[in-house]
Amino acid sequence: MENVPSPRVVITGLGVVTPLGNETDRLVAGLRDRTSGVAPLTQVPQNVLSINHGAEAREFTGDIDDYGPMDKKLQRTIRKGSKVMCREIEMGVAVAQLALTDSGLGPDQRDRDRTGVIYGCDYIMSLPEEFASGIKKCLDENGTFQFDRWGQQGKPEVNPLWLLKYLPNMPASHIAIYNDLRGPNNSITVREASAGAALAEAYSTIARGHADALVVGSTGSRIHTLRSLHADMQEELASNREDPTKMSRPFSADRDGSVLGEGAGAMVCESLEHAQARGANILGEIVGYGSSAVGPAFGPTFLQTALANVMRSALGKESPSAIGHVHAHGLATPQCDAQEAAAIVDVFGPADEQPPVTTAKGHFGNLGAGGGMVEIIASLKALGGNLFPILNCQSPADDCPINACVDDSTPAGSQFINVNITPQGQASAIRIQAFQ
């Protein structure tokens, strides 16, 4: 049986919502200029948690203008749908619309039955305000909550559509409905690893002939009344500093935790044949991916093992010397950074043999599921020019022996590997190269 080469999968459109702005060029410019998106929190009360600063996507308001240029009918539809979209979903839908506009993949250029959506998303927590009125109805004269009142007095006060605002499959659902995309539709929920996993699934879906084009993205927020509280209780967060822009310190000796952030990114992926047939502007090509889950039961180096697994998988048969740069997870916690550095050494060798290593998390912290896609887009936009340095890392710590990009003159190369991982050891990696 003759072997048939797999279809090539290319990228034709991009969209972002980030703490550094909602345009891809501004994102990369901010990273190169060492701009930080970390500032006092406005969505979470001050002096309640151990931290008072984070990286909010301050320019995103949910206004219809944030979704980019659209016809009036689609604007009206999205405005109506916003009633059942929380902030993470709104950001996810907005970047999808921006990516579709950027790609030029309009209704007249796509087969709606062969165009779909694959989206990564965090689990989404409801805002306490959804239940405030109902809870108030169940308080006795002493202000004590009486649970036996909830069914008759409390629950009727809750909006019957509240759950639709917080389901992690809703970004993909809304995007498909608004744009009449009837092809494959999937939602990926593996926290920080969601973006890489979504792109891997998109590549496979197109390569096996099930779709011509897919809107692929991820969205997330760790800035939320309850989500931020959970992170504060369960994770290592960076200490408050007099200058909050110095809080996120990936791979530095004095790193002490991650910074909470929010954002979203999306891209349009197509088969090369489909993109060329419509004369699309091709921005890059997906050429490798990896996925691995290695839990704590494996031992104390489980993060290192998972990260090494996915980088090797994404690298495939490509020579390590051909990789222009590695966009690391760079969470800025002592354990994760040290294990990630060890994984990079496992795959690429000592620092003087490694490609340059960078991460955008020094600029805006951990954006949850949205972070991976924003980082991938930043690296893609940097190809062919200079790489952005790691903010707040003058030189890597002794336990992080990496070829850290700390200056403004390091070439980004013609291809890169991006890697992300969850605290539970779920990792994903993607390899993208400039189109040739």
Number of domain units in the chain: 3
The pLDDT of residue 344 is 98
Same domain? For 141 and 194 the reply is: no
Same domain? For 265 and 304 the reply is: no
- Gap between the Cα atoms of 243 and 233, Å rounded: 23
**Mean of all residue pLDDT scores within the chain:** 96
Q: What is the 3-state secondary structure (H, E, C) of 147-179?
A: HHHHHHHHHHHCCCCHHHHCCCCHHHHHHHHHH
pLDDT band at 315 (very low <50, low <70, confident <90, very high): very high
Same domain? For 102 and 75 the reply is: yes
Q: Tell me the per-residue pLDDT of 171-197, one tens digit each, with 9 for 90 and over.
A: 999 999 999 999 999 999 999 999 999
- Gap between the Cα atoms of 262 and 254, Å rounded: 24
Same domain? For 186 and 103 the reply is: yes
Q: How far is the CA of 261 from the CAs of 26, 56, 231, in angstroms?
A: 18, 6, 11
pLDDT band at 7 (very low <50, low <70, confident <90, very high): confident
Same domain? For 153 and 105 the reply is: no
Asked if 301 and 388 touch (Cβ cutoff 8 Å), the reply is no
Same domain? For 170 and 153 the reply is: no
Same domain? For 254 and 107 the reply is: yes
Q: Tell me the per-residue pLDDT of 199-231, one tens digit each, with 9 for 90 and over.
A: 999 999 999 999 999 999 999 999 999 999 999
What token pair was written down for 313?
Answer: 């998988």
The pLDDT of residue 116 is 98
**Residue 231 within a domain:** yes
The pLDDT of residue 1 is 36
- Contacts of 294-298 with CB under 8 Å at 24 or more apart are 294/425, 294/427, 295/424, 295/425, 296/424, 296/425, 298/425
Q: Which residues contact 287 (CB under 8 A, 6 or more apart)?
A: 316, 318, 415, 431, 432, 433
**Residue 4 within a domain:** no
Same domain? For 64 and 196 the reply is: yes
Is the pTM of the predicted complex or chain greater than 0.75?
yes
- Gap between the Cα atoms of 436 and 210, Å rounded: 25
Taking each helix axis from N to C end, the angle separating 87-103 and 369-382, rounded to the nearest 10 degrees, works out to 30
Section 117-140 average pLDDT: 94
Q: Which residues pair with 54 in a beta bridge?
A: 39
- pLDDT at residue 96 above 90? yes
**Residue 1 within a domain:** no
Section 94-112 average pLDDT: 97
Which domain covers residue 137, as residue numbers?
130-157
